[in-house]
Amino acid sequence: MQGALGYDIHQTLFIGANSLLVEGAADILFIQTISALLGREGKEPLSEKWTLTPVGGSGRIATFVRLLTGQKGMTVATLIDIQSNDRVTVEGLYRDKLLKKANVCTFADYTGKTEADIEDMFDPDFYLSLVNEEYGLTPAITLTNLTSRAPRMLVRLDEYRKSSGVLSIFSHYRPARYFHEKLDRLAPKVSADTRERFAKAFVDLNKLLK
């Protein structure tokens, strides 16, 4: 298995004694930026003992869990997106006893939704402001434009883009990068509810560390 995944590990993974599996680069930037913000405010950030390990999507997570948990002395956990078509895969991590249930965290656990990406940890209007500012959209996309009832912001945004022709090319990495680069200016706009959602996730994850 290690041989088959060797290229991916060399190119895209950061592996440490405590590996927190996330989807990709956007998740890493959002998590690191919010963690820094909470730390500034005297709240508990994500422990620096965690190594953020991008796996490229929930469809690959079980494979990486099997690989990493085979390494002696490692602590492995997830903070991952979840949607209806991959719920069986994600929940299988603890049902198949690959990880303890406490080690399988999804963004839905902290948003109160059945499906959630990391973008759903933010208030919808704030996330849209990141998109509008990063892409310089005029007129800006507003919540009233997003008529879809899908639970995930990225799906609602994608459906609007396809129907309206606005923002024909979109990368969810770019709003994350913008947030990271403009944190000092944007920090006051991050709601208390958003801070609380991330803080709860970080506390839960930090409890898993030895």
The answer to the question of residue 1 being in a domain is no
Its domain, for residue 87, covers 6-206
Question: Residues 137, 112: contact at Cβ < 8 Å?
Answer: no
* pLDDT tens per residue, range 78-87: 999 999 888 8
Q: Which of 22, 172, 15, 19 is nearest to 107 (CA)?
A: 22
SS3 21: strand
The answer to the question of residue 198 being in a domain is yes
Residue with tokens 């298995």: 1
Instruction: Examine the pLDDT at 33 and tell me if it is beyond 50.
Output: yes
The answer to the question of residue 180 being in a domain is yes
15, 48, 49 from 10: Cα distances, Å = 10, 22, 21
* pLDDT tens per residue, range 170-189: 999 999 999 999 999 999 99
> How many structural domains does the chain have?
1
The answer to the question of residue 32 being in a domain is yes
The answer to the question of residue 153 being in a domain is yes
The answer to the question of residue 33 being in a domain is yes
Question: Residues 178, 72: contact at Cβ < 8 Å?
Answer: no
